[in-house]
Amino acid sequence: MERADGLAAISEEPARLTRRFATAALKLATNTVAGWMRAAGMQVRHDNVGNLVGRYEGAHGATKTLLLGSHLDSVRDAGKYDGPLGVLVALACVERLNARELRLPFAIEVFAFADEEGLRYHTAYLGSNVVAGSFDPTYLSLVDADGIALADAIRAFGGDPAALTQDARRPDDVLGYCEVHIEQGPVLEALDLPVGIVTAIAGQSRLEVTWQGQAGHAGTVPMHLRRDALCAAAEFMLSVEQLAEERAGLVATVGQIAAEPGASNVIPGRVTLSLDVRHQDDALREQALEALHDQAFKIATRRHVVVQWQTVQESRSVLCSPWLIEQLERAIEHVGYAVHHLPSGAGHDAVVMAGLTDVAMLFVRCKAGVSHHPAESVMLEDVAAAIAVLESFLASFASDGPTL
C-alpha cells in the first residue's frame, strides 16, 4: 500500500495523478518499480516501447515462463490502483519466493506495461501489443496533443521504434498471463468478497468523430443560417446516450470534446469528439456502431455540416482460459474465500495478451465501485488476500500445472 501511495505521487501534474505514455513521470515510476524488482531478486530490462520486465528465474532446467503484471500509465486525474496494483501484487509474490529462496519449475516475468489507457495517443495497449507481437506500425505516425509523433516519443523514452518487433514474446515460450486488477465496479463489494475471477472481458471500439460546420460571428449570423458544429455534436452525444440506454449491456461514452476556434463570441466551426462503445457481445457492439454511424450522418445532413467517422481502435471480447480459471478457483478455495466469477466491462492488458497466450484475471474489491477517479480505493486486507491467492496460484501451478 505504501508503494501504491509512492507511485501515485509520481505525476505529470502537481495536484493530481496523470501519467501518460513515455513521459518523465512514467520514466520515474518505471525506474522506481525497477529498483523494487531488483531488490526482489529479479533481472530487470526495459523493452523498446518502454515496458519494464522483471524476470525471476525458475528452477534448474525450467524452460517456460509465466507472465504476470499490469500497467503503470494512468488516465487523467486517476486513482492509485488501476494498473499499479497488478504490478505490485505480482512483485510481492516474487519477493516472498525470493525470501524463501524458492524456485518454481518455470520462470516468472512481471510486466509493468507502458501504455494501457491510451491517454496520450488515444490508442490503448501500446505496451502489451508489442509483447504480444500485435503492434500496428501505422500507430508510429500518430501525434499527441503537442504534435509529437509516437515514434519520436518512443525514441525520447529510450527505445528504438524500428526494433519493436524484436520485443514480441514467442507463444511457445510462455505458459500464460495472469493479471490482478482492481474490479472498477461494485459487484465484489455487494457480495462482501475480497477477490473474484474474471470470465470474459468486453469488446471495445474507440472512435474519433469530427464535425465540420462554419465558424462565424455570434452576434451577426441569424440562427437559421448557421452551421454550428458544436450543436450538431451535442445532438449526436445525446443520441449516443439514448441508444446505450435502450440496448441491454451496451455502454457508450463521449469522454473528450474540442470545439474550435473556441471563443464565447464565435460560432463553433469544428468539433472533434471521442466515442467509446463496449459490449460483451461483439455482434451487438457492431450493430450499435452501425446505428450510431447512421444517426451521425442523419444529424449532419439535416444541419448542413460534414461529419467524419474514424475508427481509432477495436478490440474483440476475450474469454479467459478455463484451465487458468480453474487454477484460480483452487487458489481462492485454498486461501479460504468463496469463489465468484464475473465479467469485466473495463479493458485490460489481458485483452491483448490473449493474442499471445492463455489469460486469466483476478479482480480485487473496489470501494463503491469507483475507478478512473482519485477516490479509487482498495482495502489492505483485500490486497493481502490477492497476494495470498496469487501465491497459492503459483504454488499449485508449480505442483500440478501443465507439463513443463
Q: Contact positions toward Mn ion, by CB under 5 A? A: 82-83
Sequence length of the chain is 404
250 binds ligand GLV (CB under 6 A): no
Is 117 a binder of ligand GLV (CB under 6 A)?
yes
- For the segment 176-195, give every residue that binds ligand GLV (CB under 6 A): none
CB of 130 or CB of 180, closer to Mn ion: 180
- The helices-and-strands tally (H runs, E runs) of the chain is 11, 16
Q: Phi and psi of 103, rounded to 5°?
A: -115, 135
Residue 83's binding partner, choosing from Mn ion, ligand GLV, none, with beta-carbon cut-off 5 to 8 A by kind? Mn ion
- Cβ proximity to Mn ion: between 159 and 347 the closer is 347
Q: How far is the CB of 63 from Mn ion (least distance, A)?
A: 31
Position 331 contacts ligand GLV (CB under 6 A): no
Q: DSSP letter for 14, please.
A: S
Beta carbon of residue 125, minimum distance to ligand GLV (angstroms, whole number): 9
Assess 90 for contact with ligand GLV (CB under 6 A): no
Nearest distance from residue 6's CB to ligand GLV, in Å? 22
Q: Are 45 and 53 in contact (CB under 8 A)?
A: yes
Q: Residue 199's Cα: distance from chain center in Å? A: 17
**347 interacts with, out of Mn ion, ligand GLV, none, CB within 5 to 8 A per kind:** ligand GLV
Q: What whole-number distance in Å separates Cα of residue 217 and Cα of residue 4?
A: 50
Size of the site for ligand GLV (CB under 6 A): 3
| Burial category of 12 from C-beta neighbours within 10 Å (exposed 0-12, middle 13-18, buried 19 and up) | middle
Contact pick of 69, 159, 347, 401 for ligand GLV (by CB under 6 A): 347
Which residues 368-397 are close enough to bind ligand GLV by CB under 6 A? none
Grid cell locating 70: 499490469
Output the smallest distance, CB 373 to Mn ion, in A. Answer: 10
Please report whether residue 346 would count as binding ligand GLV according to CB under 6 A. Answer: yes
| Contact in structure between 169 and 351 (CB atoms under 8 Å) | no
State in angstroms the smallest separation of the CB of 347 from ligand GLV: 4
Return the number of the residue (117 or 183) whose C-beta is nearest ligand GLV.
Answer: 117
Write out the E strands in 97-235.
Answer: 107-113, 174-182, 195-201, 203-212, 216-217
Contact 114, 400 (CB under 8 A): no
CA-to-CA distance for 296 and 236, rounded, in angstroms? 6
For ligand GLV, the binding residues (CB under 6 A) are 117, 346-347
